[in-house]
């Protein structure tokens, strides 16, 4: 991307969003978000913590300085504001601090889980690029390479008369834990959830290179996608554009067949 408004800057606890992309949850939020150049968003629950306005930073929570991880997020914001044109976006992966604490909440051991599934740890990128919007008009965040590859894939499919849409892209470790907690609250157990969702820290979505892909009129993330012309097209053409099906039938990771889940590997 050409400038910061199209980049999501990532820290272990807080995301730094460009203004104008987040949905308002009240009229008060709507007025602030409309004027904000950046928004600090807590990863574990999506809470908006502060907005950067023309006149300075406005906290949206009490005791903002006591928020975990707020200091590195504010330092990153200050750096971006001081030299927005010359400063390159942060690069590299984020540290994996806090991973075992999340797994402890699910009764999982990192080493045992990795040995059982063969899934590698996946760190979150320090910076993600806006790749468009998903089916639900949410911003779609991917790495720079995956964003460009998705746009090429989408365009190539359209030329062939195939409509593809993105269901989801990047997901943080904290968001992945939230998926488990919501399903546990509905009465599912961890073992059942692990057949359809990788444990926090082990999902390809964390790395910003994986996409759940659908087609209009088809329910999201359902095996029935395998019977659509869109899936047949992906089988023929996705590989040449750098995308690969991660979880085919009878895959060795213990995850159900996911015809919708494709990962950019270059």
Domains defined along the chain, listed by start: 4-82 (no CATH), 99-264 (3.30.1380.10)
Q: What pLDDT was estimated at residue 2?
A: 45
Q: Which portions of the chain are predicted below pLDDT 70?
A: 1-5, 84-87
CB burial readout 189-220, b (16+ within 10 A) else e: eeeebbeebbbbbbbbbbbbbbbbbbbeebeb
Q: What pLDDT was estimated at residue 123?
A: 97
| E strand or H helix that includes residue 51 | strand 48-53
How many beta carbons lie within 10 A of that of residue 127, not counting itself?
A: 20
Read off the tokens for 236.
Answer: 């023929």
Q: How far apart are the first and last CA of the chain?
A: 19
Q: What pLDDT was estimated at residue 4?
A: 44
């Amino acid at each position: 991307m050409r400038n910061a408004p199209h980049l999501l800057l990532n820290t272990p606890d807080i995301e730094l969003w460009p203004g104008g992309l987040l949905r308002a949850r009240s009229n008060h939020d709507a007025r602030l978000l409309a004027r904000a150049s950046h928004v600090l968003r807590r990863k574990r629950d999506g809470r908006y913590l502060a907005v950067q306005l023309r006149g300075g930073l406005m906290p949206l929570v009490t005791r903002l300085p006591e928020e975990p991880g707020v200091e590195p997020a504010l330092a990153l914001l200050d750096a971006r504001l001081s030299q927005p044109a010359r400063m390159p976006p942060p690069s590299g992966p984020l540290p994996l601090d806090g991973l075992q604490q999340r797994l402890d909440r699910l009764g999982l051991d990192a080493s045992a889980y990795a040995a059982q599934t063969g899934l590698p740890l996946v760190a979150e990128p320090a910076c993600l690029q806006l790749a468009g919007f998903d089916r639900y008009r949410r911003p779609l965040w991917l790495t720079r390479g995956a964003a460009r590859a998705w746009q090429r894939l989408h365009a190539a499919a359209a030329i062939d008369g195939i409509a593809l849409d993105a269901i989801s892209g990047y997901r943080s470790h904290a968001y992945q834990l939230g998926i488990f907690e919501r399903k546990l609250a509905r009465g599912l157990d961890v073992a059942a959830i692990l057949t359809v969702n990788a444990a926090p820290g082990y999902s390809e979505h964390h790395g910003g290179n994986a996409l759940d892909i659908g087609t209009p009129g088809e329910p999201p993330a359902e095996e029935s996608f395998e019977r659509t012309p869109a899936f047949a097209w992906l089988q023929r053409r996705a590989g040449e554009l750098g995308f690969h099906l991660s979880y085919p039938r009878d895959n060795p990771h213990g995850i159900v067949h996911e015809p919708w889940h494709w990962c950019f590997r270059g």
